[in-house]
Structure 1
C-alpha cells in the first residue's frame, strides 16, 4: 500500500469510525496514522481480554455454584419445615432469595428462550441452563466485600470452600472480581482500553483463579494472550 492509499484508508476510517470514536486514540498517538494503529491494537487487546474472560467467568461461577448447591441443601424452608433442594436456582433459601433473588427470574427467562429449540418434553430450563444465563455481576454480588451480615454468613458457612487456596482477606477477593467485572463491561460496550489498568485486571484474574485451583492457574497463564498483547502496544 503506497502513501496515498494509506492516507485514503485512514480518511475512510476517520469518517466511518467517527471523529469522537477515534478522539482518545488521536490524543494518545498524536497523529491519525498512529491513532489507527492504536485502534487496531485496542481491538486485539479487547479480543485477548474476552478470551480470558471466557475462562475466568466460567471457572468462578462453577466454583461458587458447587458450594451454593451444598449450602442450600442444608437450609430449612420455614414454610414446609423441610430442607431446601440442592438446586438453589430453582429452590433458593430465604438468604439467597434476598441476595440474588432479582437476578433469578431474568436468568430463568433467558434460559427459557435458549431452550425453545429442544423437544417439547425437554424445554423446561435445567440448572445448567439457568446457571449459564446468570451474569458475572451476580457472582461478584455474592461475595462479602461490603457490610452485609447475610453475605458474610454465606461466605463463612459455604462460599469460602470455593477458594481453598485464598491467602488474602475476602474483601480483596471481592475487589479483584469487581475489577474484572468492570473491565468486562468496558469490553462488552466496545470502549477504549488504552488508558485502563489491564495489567492489574490480569493480575486480578490470576488471583481469583489461583485461589480456586493452582493447577488451573498454571494452564490459564499458558494460554491467556493479554500479557503478550500488552507488550506490543504501538508507540506514538
Structure 2
C-alpha cells in the first residue's frame, strides 16, 4: 500500500476529500496531503496568537467588571442579573453561576473557567451603558479616542466572532485553508492592540502564522 493510501485510510476518505477537491479546483500541482499538512501546521501556528488574544480580552473584561462591581464581581448579584438568561441556547448567567460555584471564592479561578463566548457576549449592545461607557478608556487604552465607544465595542464584538469561529474550527481539527487567514490574524492583532499595543507588537514578533501564509502549497 502506498503511503498516501495508508494515510488516507487512517484519516478517512471523507476527511481527505475536502483537500482533494481543493487541489482539483485550484488546478495546482500539490498533492492533497501537502495541503492537509499545511492546514495542520498553520492551525498549530494560530494557537499562540489565539492564546494571547483570549487571555488578553478576558483580562480586559475582568478589569472592567472589577472597576464597576469590585474584585468579587462573579458573586455580585447585580452583575449576574445584568447577564442574559434565555430559556434555550447559550445562557451566560447560568455559566457564571456554575463557574462561581465551582471556584467558590477565587475570582482568578473563575476567569479561565468561563468560555470564550462568555467574554464575547460582554461586548453586546446591552453593556454599552452598564460597562463600556464607564471604563472603556481605562481597560482598552488602545481604542481610538475619537471613535464613539459603542462603535469600538461593536467592531470588537465582530472581531471576536471571527476569532471564535476560527478557534472552533481549529479545536475540532477542521479545514481552515479556505478562510482569509491573513484577516483572521489581523483581527487577533487588533483585539490585543486595544488592550496593549506593546503586547501586540511582542506577539507579532513571535507568531508563526505570517511566514506560513506565504508557504501554502500551490
Task: Identify the TM-score tier after normalising by the shorter chain.
Answer: 0.7 to 0.9
CA distance in 2, matches of 1:72, 1:16: 52
1:159, distance to aligned residue in structure 2 (A) = 4.1
Residues 91, 48 of structure 1: alpha-carbon distance in 2 compared, 3 angstrom cutoff: same
* Residues 21 and 212 of structure 1: CA distance in aligned 2, closer, same or farther (over 3 Å): same
How far is the alpha carbon of 1:166 from its aligned partner? 1.0
Q: Which residue of structure 1 aligns with residue 130 of structure 2?
A: 153
Q: Is 1:10 paired with 2:4?
A: yes
Task: Report the 3-state secondary structure (helix = DSSP H, G, I; strand = E; otherwise coil) of the residue aligned with 1:101.
Answer: helix
Residue by residue, what CA displacement relative to the aligned partner does 1:62-101 show, whole Å, maximum 9, x if unpaired? 121112111113xxxxxxxxxxxx3111224246542431
Partner of 2:78: 93
Q: Which has the larger radius of gyration?
A: 1
- Stretches of structure 1 that go unaligned for 5 or more consecutive residues are 1-6, 74-85, 113-123
CA shift, 1:138, in A, is 0.8
Pairing 1:53–2:50 present: yes
Of residues 54, 67, 71, the one that matches 1:70 is 67
Gaps in structure 2 of 5+ consecutive residues: 85-91
User: 1:46–1:193: 8 Å Cα contact kept in structure 2?
Assistant: yes
Residues of 1 paired with 2:29 and 2:211: CA distance? 25
Secondary structure of the structure 1 residue equivalent to 2:216? coil
CA contact 2:72–2:107 (8 Å) conserved in 1? yes
**1:160 and 1:183, CA in 2 relative to 1: closer, same or farther beyond 3 A?**
farther
Single out whichever of 89-98 and 191-200 deviates more from structure 2: 89-98
SS of 1:190's partner is coil
Q: Which residue of the other structure, out of 32, 35, 43, is the alignment partner of 1:35?
A: 32
In the TM superposition, 1:189-200 aligns within 5 A as 189-200=172-183
When residues 182 and 46 of structure 1 are mapped into structure 2, their CA distance, relative to the original with a 3 A threshold, is same
1:98-127 superposed Cα distances (whole Å, 9 cap, x missing partner):
243122133346x55xxxxxxxxxxx4521
CA RMSD of aligned residues (A): 2.2
Aligned residue for 2:74, secondary structure, equals coil
The aligned counterpart of 2:165 is 182
**Which residue is 2:188 aligned to?**
205
After TM superposition, the score normalised by the length of structure 2 is 0.84
Count residues in correspondence: 202
**TM-score normalised per structure 1:** 0.78
